[in-house]
Amino acid sequence: MNVSKTFPERTDLGQLPDPARRALSLGLGLLPMFPLLSGCGAGAEDTGQSAQARGQGRSPSASVPGSVSGVFRHPGLLVTDDDFARIREHIKAGQQPWTGWWNKLCADRAASLDGKPNPLAGVYRADSSKFAMYRDIQRAWCLALRWRLSDDTRYADKAVETLDAWANTLKVIGTVPEGSTAHDDHTFILLAGMQGHQWAQAGEIMRGYPGWPPERLARFQEMLTSVFVGISSRFLSGPHPGSHANWDMASLCGTLAIGVFCDRPDLYRQACDYYAANNRGKLTMFGNGSIVHAVYFMHPGHFGQWQESGRDQGHSTLGMSLGGDLLEMAWSQGDDLYGLYDNRFLAGAEYVARSNLLDENGNTYPMPYAREQNPPEPHTSLWTEVNQSFQHKRNAWEPIYNHYVNRMGLAAPNVARMVPLCEPNYGSSGGDDVVFPTLVHRRPAYAGPMKPPSGLTAPVRDGRAVLSWWGSVGATSYVVRRSASADGPFTDLATVAANELLTHTDAAPRSTWFYQVTALGSGGTSASSGSVRASVSGETRLSMPLNGMNGTGTAGTLLTPAGSRTTIEGTLLDGATWGEGRLNNDKAVAFDGKAAGLQLPPGIFSGLDDFTVSLWAYANSLRWDSCLFFAGHDGFSSMRIAPKAGQGLRFGICGAGHNDEQVVEAPGFLPIRRWVHVAVTLQGSTGRLYVDGTEVASSDAILLSPRQVGDQVAFLGRNWGHPSFDGRIQDFRVHAGALSAAEVAALMQ
């Protein structure tokens, strides 16, 4: 597997449903389906700021996202026409840092008119041939920038000379040359993604140059599709849980960038969907570069543990470099990947930035860490802490900082500290990064009014409400407030300084509470954030009788996180039907032990840390790893109740595949040929498993929770890839909070 021919170009993604029908359901906190909302910085409660953010920084030409229209704005990758006009004005006015970096670009030998391209027919990651391509990519990029910022066509001619030379010469990329006995570690996949996207950046700028004839432009596009994007797209079509985030991120960048440059909406949508974990109604698996996996664990204060933080900081910061490029390219086409899942990428960026900073005494900062499986290693290989043995000053932070802080007015204190530390390093880190990002991405400092705190969440963990929120540019502190009513009055609970982690834990009495946060700054007080509701009373989130009586069928009553009640409906799949129920004259959903299942709508577990799930089950027989219940983002990040797994009845929850599973397991399997009541509770890190109202197992090592693993897909009676449950299920319930043993026993009445 050492040449690009091994990965044929993927040209058909299947029939995609009309993405305009896939709306984001903010009320339930469901999975964002394209079209994505423009703008960022707002959670489900933050409707006021969301409206303001949606109109900011967006060109009218990008008002219909590329993921919807399939029509692209050109140039529309890392730099648009609007960006070039803005940068030119800064340089004309002699403003810094643009003028300084323009002067450095002009003095850089990569932008010299004296150089000649050095194209090769084959480029391999394991030998020096890759450096010839790295140099010429950087050269084409710098020449293209110099042309667009000066209108001097000599630089345009030299840029297209380089692009043409490679288009007419390059035939294959790989790890090692054909016939070599050297080890093939398959890192040609990284080469295809990173260098494919970088070639596309230069080509995208030059496609508007009249001196590049259409036939030569088409030849360069053909080179990218035949040599590069087939590898990247194929890698995304079969996600690899044993690969780290940067492999996916490289392939995402290559697929998306070439999709835009070559006017291939299928490639563009593939990259957007994969990153967003948008399965478009199908059962889809996503690798560690999908944002729901790349940020493995959300710590308090919207501090997002990056997937490779336990590995090293060189690879973690590579994720930031590729992620910033990916998100900025999508933004140029009107798609807001920056804001997905309440700015989840910013949560990861703040975490990685903090991991690479030193305190006033020159020491690394202590970092919270949830143990995580090292993806390519055996089950026993766990990372247990952030690897801060080397602080990496990779040139990664400009697009991230300039979007969230300067464009959107959100506070990102750790990212902000990294920018000046990394700005002098404009090298490409061995071909990994696009050079001159300060010149390209730097925007004037945010000058709008101080925004209200946004993205306020208050999940209940270990019986306490744990608040997190996004800060505001200009804020010096934040006031946390609580009320027994959504309409107030609110009472001040605490003041949190802007330089602290933006979180507060409230050990409130058992009841339902409402929280707000207000920002304080030198200019006064901001409006309050939207209110968020938190129940520490163990209220019923979902009741689904599944008894087939009174015409209810698969209907259930759901209490949304906002406190409203609604009716939801499950869907019988693949042979699921009705059988004899537990009580006289009632029915139960019957599963055939093959493929039958009951699909549940997403959002049932939205925002839950502490929780209880319970059901009645009648097993005719037991099949290994079949499921009574399954929910997750996909098969790699999910939770389940399996009647026969390991050594017994098992509740398992994982964030990075089955090797990562954290379990509560009974000493025996689920009893067969009788009705059995099964319940699982989680409070803090303590999980308990009950059978017929009696606790049969517990574990104090459950760090993951429904909020962490999601429930984009949820089933009763089946899971991802095993035979379905052979039996019947009735009375499925979900509670917010961990019920006591007495309360679990009462569910059986």
**pLDDT tens-digit profile of 248-270?**
999 999 999 999 999 999 999 99
Pair of tokens at residue 4: 């690009």
One-character DSSP codes across 17-30: --GGG----GGGTP
Residue 46 domain-assigned (yes or no): no
DSSP conformation class of 503 = E
* pLDDT in the model for residue 601: 94
Mean pLDDT to the nearest integer, 3-18? 31
Q: Does 232 lie in the same domain as 171? A: yes
What is the per-residue pLDDT for 517?
97
Q: Is the pLDDT of residue 9 over 60?
A: no
- Residue 2 reports pLDDT greater than 60: no
Domain check: are 151 and 273 in the same one? yes
- Strand-pair partners of 573: 597
Q: Decide the pairing of beta strands 638-645 and 648-654.
A: antiparallel
Contacts of residue 447, Cβ cutoff 8 Å, sequence gap at least 6:
none
β-pair partners for 736:
611
| pLDDT of residue 449 exceeding 60 | yes
Residue percentage of the chain with pLDDT more than 90? 83
Q: Among 478, 467, 494, 312, which Cα is nearest to 386's? A: 312
pLDDT mean over 417-437: 89
Q: What is the pLDDT of residues 698-729, one digit of tens each?
A: 999 999 999 999 999 999 999 978 999 999 99
Answer whether 117's CB lies under 8 Å from 166's CB: yes
Do the beta carbons of residue 729 and residue 615 sit within 8 Å?
yes
Collapsed DSSP state (helix, strand, coil) of residue 631: strand
Judge if 666 and 682 occupy the same domain.
yes
Q: Is 492 a domain residue? A: yes
Which of 367, 359, 355, 362 has the alpha carbon at shortest distance from 392?
355
**pLDDT-derived band of residue 552, with 50, 70 and 90 as boundaries?**
low
Quick check: 108 and 156 in contact, CB under 8 A?
no
Q: pLDDT at residue 605 above 90?
A: yes
Task: Please state the rounded mean pLDDT for residues 3-23.
Answer: 30
In a domain, 336, yes or no: yes
564 and 509 in a single domain? The answer is no
244, pLDDT greater than 90: yes
- What is the average pLDDT value for the chain, to the nearest integer? 90
Q: What is the distance between the alpha carbons of residues 735 and 712, in angstroms, rounded to a whole number?
A: 18
Same-domain pairing of 248 and 264 = yes
Among 465, 500, 535, identify where a domain stops. Answer: 535
463: domain CATH number is 2.60.40.10
Please check whether residues 429 and 470 belong to one and the same domain. no
553 and 511 together in one domain: no
pLDDT of the residue at 5: 33
Tell me which residue has tokens 């059978």.
Answer: 691
**Do 721 and 589 share a domain, yes or no?**
yes
- Residue 20: CB atoms within 10 A of its CB come to 14
Given a contact cutoff of 8 angstroms between Cβ atoms, the answer to whether 401 and 411 are in contact is no
Residues 544 and 674 in one domain: yes
Q: Please, is 671 exposed, middle or buried when counting C-beta atoms within 10 Å of its C-beta (0-12, 13-18, 19+)? A: middle
User: Which pLDDT score is estimated for 23?
Assistant: 25
Domain boundary among 500, 515, 535: 535
Say yes or no to pLDDT of 50 above 70: no
Based on the fold, state whether residues 367 and 353 are members of the same structural domain: yes
Residue 580 φ/ψ, nearest 5 degrees: -65, 135
Asked whether residue 499 falls in the same domain as residue 626, the answer is no
pLDDT confidence of residue 231: 97
Nearest to 327 by CA among 432, 402, 436: 402
Quick one: DSSP state of residue 36? Answer: P
Confidence of residue 584 (pLDDT cuts 50, 70, 90): confident
Mean pLDDT (whole number) for 506-528: 92
Residue 664 in 3-state DSSP?
A: strand
| Residue among 250, 160, 254, 245 nearest 210 (CA) | 160
Of 535, 567, 585, the domain-final residue: 535
Whether 19 maps to a domain, the answer reads no
Q: Is 405 within 8 Å of 416 (Cβ atoms)?
A: yes
Residue 550: predicted pLDDT: 61
Check residue 549 and give its pLDDT. 67
Among residues 265, 168, 151, 165, the alpha carbon closest in space to that of 210 is found at 151
Mean pLDDT of 92-97: 98
Rounded CA-CA distance 166/172 in Å is 11
309-341 tens-digit pLDDT = 999 999 999 999 999 999 999 999 999 999 999
Query: Is residue 43, in this structure, part of any structural domain at all?
Result: no
Q: Is 444 exposed, middle or buried (0-12, 13-18, 19+ CB in 10 A)?
A: exposed
**Residue 213 CA to its chain's centroid (Å):** 39
Q: Of 219, 314, 230, 224, give the one whose Cα is nearest residue 270.
A: 230
Average pLDDT over residues 166-187: 92
Q: Which pairs with CB-CB distance under 8 Å and at least 24 residues apart come from 351-354?
A: 351/295, 351/299, 351/303, 351/304, 351/305, 351/306, 351/309, 351/414, 352/306, 352/309, 352/313, 352/316, 352/317, 352/319, 352/320, 353/320, 353/397, 353/412, 353/414, 353/415, 353/417, 353/418, 354/303, 354/414
* Total number of domains constituting the chain: 3
| pLDDT classification of 379: cutoffs 50, 70, 90 | confident
The mean per-residue pLDDT over the stretch 659-688 comes to 97
Residues in the chain: 749
Domain presence at residue 209: yes
pLDDT at 62: 52
For a pLDDT cut of 70, what percent of the chain falls above it?
91
Cα 423 from Cα 396, distance rounded (Å)? 9
Task: Output the pLDDT for position 213.
Answer: 98
Residues 459 and 599 grouped into a single domain: no
Q: Is residue 32 situated within a structural domain?
A: no
Distance CA 52, CA 40 (A): 10
Domain span including residue 618: 540-746
Q: Is residue 101 part of a domain?
A: yes
| CATH code where residue 616 lies | 2.60.120.200
